[in-house]
């Protein structure tokens, strides 16, 4: 019975690690995707091929960053669950605090640009 539970525990730990990696990759992909799309929209705006405004471009890019940050926070929480040392918990707290503050101010920026569109 204990051999089975150890194996099940190891599989669960591996699955949790893979899920944490998945969330990290999705978060980074969202931020990178947002940067690429914003860059393309700026180029189209500058060459007058599309009628994008800078407010629209910033709004879309900020949305992608916020969405990516949510995934990265979730990945950090899972990483801390896997290794709950006091140092990891303090690091997680600092990371979540910094990302939450960033998210708050980015949300305020999105609301500000919503009025400009």
Q: Is residue 116's pLDDT more than 60?
A: no
Distance, CA of 90 to chain centre:
20
pLDDT digits (tens, 9 = 90+) for 66-115: 889 889 989 988 888 887 888 888 888 888 888 888 888 887 777 776 65
Asked if residue 72 lies in contact with residue 27, where contact means CB atoms within 8 angstroms, the answer is yes
pLDDT digits (tens, 9 = 90+) for 4-59: 666 877 888 888 889 999 999 999 999 999 999 999 988 888 887 777 777 788 88
Mean model confidence pLDDT for the chain: 83
């Amino acid at each position: 019975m204990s051999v089975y539970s150890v194996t099940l525990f190891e599989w669960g730990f591996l699955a949790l690690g893979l899920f944490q990696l998945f969330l990290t990759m999705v978060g980074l992909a969202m931020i990178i995707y947002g940067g690429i799309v914003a860059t393309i929209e700026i180029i189209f705006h500058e060459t007058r091929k599309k009628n994008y405004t800078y407010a629209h471009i910033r709004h879309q890019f900020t949305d992608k960053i916020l969405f990516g940050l949510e995934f990265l926070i979730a990945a950090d929480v899972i990483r801390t669950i896997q290794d709950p040392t006091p140092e990891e918990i303090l690091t997680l707290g600092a990371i979540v605090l910094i990302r939450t503050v960033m998210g708050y101010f980015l949300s305020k920026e999105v609301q500000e640009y919503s009025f400009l569109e």
